[in-house]
Structure 1
Amino acid sequence: MNNTTTPGRTGRQAGLGRIIIAVYGIFAISSTARAGYQILTKFDEAPLAYALSAVAAVIYIIATIALASHKPGSWRLSLAAILIELAGVVVVGILSFALPQDFAHPAVWSHFGQGYGYIPLVLPLIGLWWLFRHRESAAVPGR
């Protein structure tokens, strides 16, 4: 069965879906590298920010793998990862304004992703929209 398109419907990894997966992949790689650097070189400067930056990296890795997967249950895992991501962006965004001393240096989700062009705030909203729009094709293995 063709993995990219279905007549009358966009397949799981076609078009916008591929772009979303690519963006999540880029964030997974970059946030993992940045969190690793922050933890290894300056963790004592902002331990809360850098620990949460590492959590963000893990969430991006899980979301990327789940979004790219065609296995049964991947839709639910994608949904869970993206909802956790959105909650993390909101909570860390609020914390970074409430406790600025703990977020002296920008982390992935601090200030609602301001240092990343607010993509960390917008990406989960687009991801959720895309997931719900393609729920039927995402739930059927091989599509």
Structure 2
Amino acid sequence: MGNCWTKVFSSDQEDYAEVQNVDSKNVHLIGSMEKWEAKLLEATRDGKIVIANFSASWSRPCKSMTPAYCELADKYTSMVFLAIDVDELAELSKSWDIKATPTFVFFKDGRQVDKLVGADKSDLQQKITAMDESHLFYASSLT
């Protein structure tokens, strides 16, 4: 079983401590641009939808969303769930125009198809359910 992690950095930005640990086998912590690119490429190759959670370890709304995000990841195993700390990967966050946390960005075929800003568990659930249903409909129409 994997873990859903939120990390906090020390003053030298190298050592970090675990802040929150929620069981989840389908949330991947993205700690580098290389890992981001690899996960996005892998998901695109496998025809999977990606949900990227851009969050900050110091943000209460982000912390409140972590358990719900992990539960959704465990429920929707056909999708790939990523966790990105905006402070750790500022370059990536800036490239996707992340201006508030949490921000959830949805990708299909390597392209952004939707975005949700804020800590609304119900909205996140609805968007993920809709993405899953449209993806299943599309996949079944191909056969």
TM-score, normalized by the shorter chain, greater than 0.5: no
Structure showing greater radius of gyration is 1
TM-score by length of 1: 0.30
Higher RCO by CA contacts (8 Å cutoff, separation 6 or greater): 1
> In proportion to residue count, which structure has more helix?
1
TM-score by length of 2: 0.30
